[in-house]
Amino acid sequence: MPDRCGPVWREEGAETGMQGMVTRMRLLQGAAALLYLGPLLAGLGGFGWSVVPVFTAIFLLWLVVIRPQDWPQQAAGWARPEAWLALLMRALVQVVLVSVCFGIGRGIGGAAGLLPAMPVGLPLGLSFAAIPLARLVWKPTVMAEMDSFLDDALQQVEGLQPPPLQRDPALALRLTAPLADLPETVPQAEIEAHFAALKQHLLPEDIYEALDARLQSPDAPRALRRTFILLATAQRCNEACRGRAAPVRALQVAGEDASLVELVARRCLTLLESDVDAWGDCPNPTALGAVAARMPPRAAEAIHALIVRTRDLAPLNGYDPEG
């Protein structure tokens, strides 16, 4: 029986503690409202702006009492310029808050023609009374514990993030082995699914180099050549391999295969639409024209479209392909 009741009591205790926390936070909000009510009433009562520095001092004292962990705990801490700079910045913020509340009070009083007679000590006393009330309902250690809890939670969330990938050519060769065994009729979507899985473990340049190494074999299958073309003309790979002319290498891999040449051309067009900076890595019009002369109409048409697009982008790079 005690074993069964133990968890129940713990849950009830946790629930009671949470309810107590909510109640204390509401009481703290009430004390904060009292703090802001002081300058509002001072403005409504028509007092001069000379009360603003006094309210600012009270607001700063509130911060010291509620969050003492934010202030130097020893005299040596105040010897650092950073402590005085932080104090100055917070003081400026409190001046703005007090001035806004005071100005709202004066505006309401002026618009309504209402200037209630009251001693200046009343609004000052209301704001000052908020400090001991807040201290009674809220312990500074609770705030420090909440800050520590939030810091720990943030560190745990950051710890869930995977570490940055490192160059690992040997691992790339092993993990890209299945790509070399894909059938000739493999859908493009399946190849892209392989890439999506590999990018969780490998850098794009490692995948590029691993596939390129496999293509050095004279009997490299056509499916592998097609896979390499899809990779070499992808935006993510081009961003990672900028300056290595990956699309040019893709055109070399296509060889005299008209359908693969057409694939290179159409993929390069898509690449340039999304990333004009890839222009320098794409085949130049002269090389493309030479390939188009050997291709059937469908592939030649795709290449000519790429030539036009390449020439359109050439001025952006300060290069005249006809020069």
Residue with tokens 């300056």: 243
Task: Check pLDDT > 90 for residue 250.
Answer: yes
At 219, is the pLDDT very low, low, confident or very high (cuts 50, 70, 90)? confident
Please tell me the least confidently modeled range out of 165-169, 171-175, 256-260, 296-300.
Answer: 165-169
CA angle 62, 65, 69 (to 5 degrees): 120
Can you state the angle between helices 222-232 and 246-254, rounded to 10 degrees?
160
Task: Check pLDDT > 70 for residue 300.
Answer: yes
Task: Check pLDDT > 50 for residue 11.
Answer: no
- The larger pLDDT score, comparing residue 2 to residue 218, is at 218
- The larger pLDDT score, comparing residue 70 to residue 158, is at 70
Rounded (to 5) percent helix, strand, coil in the chain: 75, 0, 25
At 246, is the pLDDT very low, low, confident or very high (cuts 50, 70, 90)? very high
- What global pTM score does this model have? 0.50
CA angle 249, 230, 294 (to 5 degrees): 55
What local confidence, expressed as pLDDT, does residue 245 receive?
92
Task: Give the percent of the chain with pLDDT over 90.
Answer: 24
